[in-house]
Chain A
């Protein structure tokens, strides 16, 4: 097993022997289930009216996508809680010297931490996708659109996780790391709200806003520009985290 995988697996194991990850997953599960059932109920009530419409929206539009949109908002809150302990927790527990003295390299440590946290975050996305997917047995779902949306959600979640890891590397307390992740994630998601109200389009501010890059996936469009955005932001965040570990080596 590679060192990255080893660190990721160790983190994942440690996450699941603590109550936080289980508690958050249970909470998220209950929240998604409630939203899902409400959406299905509303869809069933609206079905007679929808039947009369030409090109009426289906269950994918009215149940699956709203659920995934809500899940993206839930991720904004859940990810800071799942990543806050990652590196600052190691520093506070004084276990970071074990990783640093093993001379595995800062980037490998950061990648291991990222994958360890992302495995849990990705599980949240899988839970959100699994619920509408269950309807496939009884109705016609647009599976292509659902999987494209799931891919977008996974990229969105990876970016938030990378930001969380960077915040955990650069702060001195887990609560500060969580707060910083929440603030940066929220700002990136809502960055262009004002611009959109003024109908500003194609500007840098629109490009920087994370929600604009998630939206095409939720509409079923695989947007390579958005993929580049998510990869660039994630990579930048992880490099910043690795830079912090290098600073610890050179500056103490």
Chain B
């Protein structure tokens, strides 16, 4: 029997105050994968995350976690979901250790498993030296770490993180990136962020929301495979010569006659292109993937705003 996906969204829509915030969301995620949820401000990311975390009921469609519809509200989500909102939900008056014990109990862990679970989450999030510190006295970086620790302390199938890197300095952000990437060992992770480099570094899959709809959903590997290649040849090459190569789907000039940007046919790799260049005697000086395939896609989608705005 096929195992249920950790997360499945089916035609999920949400209306608030007569306005459609998100519409017809369809995507899923398996355990061991990290999904990056991208979108400009107001795209519907937080609403989507709140629905995934069970905080907000969809107006239409269903959100299933581990195969169980959250609409049932039968307590399944209590164990299956770990959620870190944009602002970590910490009780300033409790120490880190007390707080994590409270969270473990709140999520229904049996008393006999609590000490081990708290210890495990503390270690995974690098909070060993902070366990006796009051939550209210922690730095922003450690607050985020405690927030992640409370999201994973009960070993949920799905961890939902809403912009965990917001407001962190670069060093803290890098450490947090490693921590999030490490979560895939035991969980499915949905990560909402504005930082595209976090997505490329941590995520296996990406969903781009724009104006409440999914504009792109796929794996980062697909995105990179579909990315343009930058080629520099030792001699000038005509566009027609590129067109004659079966592996090349599209060729655009890159500045001079020796520099080109190429998109390959599906299934063709850079190795096949290099071989074809050699066979045709173009001479290969440089061959690399164009940086920022995700950035370009994101900017293109985000730019639809201004284009549509001007058209209107």
Contact = CB atoms under 8 A, between A and B. Distances in A.
Interface in A1-40: 1, 3, 6-7, 10, 13-14, 17-18
Given A95-B90, A252-B56, A6 B106 contact: yes
Nearest to A6: B105
Given A93-B92, A103-B54, A10 B102 contact: yes
Interface in B159-208: none
Contact of A102 (B16, B85, B90, B107): B107
Given A101-B55, A101-B83, A102-B106, A252 B93 contact: no
Contact of B16 (A3, A248, A251): A251
B121 to A, nearest CB: 14
Interface string B50-89: 1001111100000000000000010111100101010101
A250 B57 CA distance: 5
Interface in B16-74: 16, 47, 50, 53-57, 73
Contacts of B47: 252
A99 B106 contact: yes
B94 interface: yes
B150 interface: yes
Contact of A249 (B56, B92, B106, B107): B56
B77 A1 contact: no
B93 A101 contact: no
B125 interface: no
Contact of B73 (A1, A101, A103): A103
Nearest to A249: B57
Interface of A: 1, 3, 6-7, 10, 13-14, 17-18, 93-105, 248-252
Contact of A97 (B78, B89, B103): B89
Interface in B266-304: none
Contact of B89 (A96, A105, A248): A96
Nearest to B134: A17
B106 A104 contact: yes
Contacts of A248: 55
29 contacts: A3-B106, A6-B102, A10-B91, A10-B94, A10-B102, A13-B93, A17-B93, A93-B91, A93-B92, A94-B87, A96-B89, A97-B89, A98-B89, A98-B106, A99-B106, A100-B54, A100-B55, A101-B55, A101-B81, A102-B106, A102-B107, A102-B108, A104-B75, A105-B73, A248-B55, A249-B55, A252-B16, A252-B47, A252-B50
A98 B150 contact: yes
Nearest to A251: B16
Given A14-B91, A14-B93, A252-B16, A101 B105 contact: no
Contacts of B150: 98
Grouping DSSP codes into helix (H, G, I), strand (E, B) and loop, the A interface class, with mixed when no group exceeds half, is helix
A18 B93 contact: yes
A245 B120 CA distance: 32
A161 B111 CA distance: 30
Contacts of B107: 102
B93 A94 contact: no
A112 B14 CA distance: 30
Given A100-B54, A101-B55, 19 more contacts: A1-B111, A6-B102, A6-B105, A6-B106, A14-B91, A14-B93, A14-B94, A93-B92, A94-B85, A95-B89, A97-B53, A97-B85, A98-B106, A103-B75, A104-B78, A105-B75, A248-B55, A250-B57, A252-B50
Interface string B138-158: 000000000000100000000
Contacts of A105: 73, 75
B49 to A, nearest CB: 10
A108 B53 CA distance: 19
Contact of A1 (B76, B89, B105): B105
Nearest to B83: A101
A7 B89 CA distance: 15
A9 to B, nearest CB: 9
A52 to B, nearest CB: 58
A98 B87 CA distance: 11
Contacts of A97: 53, 55, 83, 85, 89
A96 to B, nearest CB: 7
Contact of B78 (A18, A95, A102): A102
* Nearest 6 A/B pairs, CB to CB: A98-B89, A103-B77, A103-B78, A95-B89, A101-B83, A94-B87
Nearest to A96: B89
A16 B220 CA distance: 50
Contacts of B102: 6, 10
A3 to B, nearest CB: 7
Contacts of A6: 102, 105-106
B21 to A, nearest CB: 9
A104 B73 CA distance: 9
Nearest to A11: B91
Contact of A101 (B53, B57, B111): B53
A59 B25 CA distance: 73
B93 to A, nearest CB: 4
A115 to B, nearest CB: 15
